[in-house]
């Protein structure tokens, strides 16, 4: 089995890396969060001092980081992956970042003799913990086939979309759908609750009809029970919608409802909610209605 490196052990990366250790892979890990590194070490992973050391010890290097600048720094910054990468290695970026930047990163890695797959994920913390992520992949088909058994340790719906950057394009599309669905469910449950209906029963009924969705099931319950501990933070969804809106501007596509969803996230964030789960978007609409779901 190939040695694997994993850089980024946050709310998503830590359980993803854990699945690989438990599957028997030799895993080299690095993160600035020492608690996460210690937890992975207790499972059998090998801590490294920096991204360069991860690359020096691995044939496959996985990144799971918050944003485009973080990925660029991990790859090409001081003591980055590029300083330790061996020809023939593969870099897999499972972060959600700019499609345009991704293509540039792939070109730079190719000059070092390394392949790259962009493989952003959907499914949130629960999906990461349950190895049930949807993985959207961009890159060469032959490299995808080599890496697919590793993806299968972390996810279930694994699709090669196209070339480098296309996985990130798919993730941007995914985040538009998720944000707009959260917004629609927020409006529906808020309307039902303020109109005096039993919102728990309304959600139950909707789950049995054409409006059924995983977001209604999971995030609808969060809205009713007021459980906004982060599975996926608002600030990260804001970042993803910024990518969507910028990509739309670059290629001449208008995304009016995406912009509205972003403004609702911005309102919650401005009120101190950037670290809340993205289902807390409902709080912006509740303030406009002067009413809280299930309350007053």
User: Under DSSP, is residue 224 helix (H, G, I), strand (E, B) or coil?
Assistant: helix
The verdict on whether 156 is a catalytic residue reads no
The secondary structure element, H or E, covering residue 28 is: strand 27-30
Query: 3-state SS of the chain?
Result: CCCEEEECCCCCHHHHHHHHHHCCCCEEEECCCHHHHHHHHHHCCEECCCHHHHHHCCCEEEECCCCHHHHHHHHHCCCCHHHHCCCCCEEEECCCCCHHHHHHHHHHHHCCCCEEEECCEECHHHHHHCCCEEEEEECCHHHHHHHHHHHCCCEEEEEEEECCCHHHHHHHHHHHHHHHHHHHHHHHHHHHHHCCCCHHHHHHHHHCCCCCCHHHHHHHHHHHHCCCCCCCEHHHHHHHHHHHHHHHHHHCCCCHHHHHHHHHHHHHHHHHHCCCEHHHHHHHHHHHHCCCCCCC
How many whole angstroms separate alpha carbon 181 and alpha carbon 213?
A: 9
Q: Which of 14, 52, 171, 233 is catalytic?
A: 171
If one counts every other C-beta atom within 10 angstroms of the C-beta of residue 144, the result is 20
Burial 179-213 (b: 16+ CB within 10 A, else e): bbbbbbbbebbbbbbbeeeebbebbeebeeeeeeb
Residues annotated as part of the active site? 171
């Amino acid at each position: 089995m190939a040695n694997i490196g994993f850089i980024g052990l946050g709310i998503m990366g830590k359980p993803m890396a854990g699945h690989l250790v438990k599957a028997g892979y030799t895993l080299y890990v690095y993160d600035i969060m020492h608690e996460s590194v210690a937890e992975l070490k207790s499972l059998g992973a090998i801590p490294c001092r920096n991204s360069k050391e991860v690359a020096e010890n691995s044939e496959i290097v996985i990144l799971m980081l918050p944003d485009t600048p973080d990925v660029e720094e991990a790859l090409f910054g001081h003591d980055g992956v590029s300083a330790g990468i061996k020809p023939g290695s593969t870099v897999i970026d499972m972060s959600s970042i700019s499609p345009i930047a991704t293509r540039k990163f792939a070109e730079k890695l190719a000059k070092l003799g390394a392949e790259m797959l962009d493989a952003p994920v959907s499914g949130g913390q629960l999906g990461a913990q349950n190895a049930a992520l949807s993985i959207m992949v961009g890159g060469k088909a032959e490299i995808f086939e080599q890496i697919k058994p590793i993806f299968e340790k972390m996810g279930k719906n694994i699709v090669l979309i196209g070339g480098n950057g296309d996985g990130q394009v798919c993730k941007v599309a995914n985040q538009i759908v998720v944000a707009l669905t959260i917004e629609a469910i927020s409006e529906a449950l808020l309307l039902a609750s303020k109109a005096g209906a039993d919102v728990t029963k309304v959600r139950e009924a909707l789950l049995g009809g054409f409006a059924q969705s995983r977001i209604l099931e999971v995030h609808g319950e969060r809205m009713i029970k007021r459980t906004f501990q982060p599975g996926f933070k608002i600030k990260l969804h804001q970042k993803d919608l910024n990518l969507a809106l910028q990509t739309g501007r670059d290629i001449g596509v208008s995304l009016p409802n995406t912009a509205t969803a972003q403004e609702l996230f911005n309102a919650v964030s401005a009120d101190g909610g950037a670290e809340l789960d993205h289902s807390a978007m409902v709080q912006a609409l509740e303030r406009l209605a002067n009413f809280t779901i299930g309350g007053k």
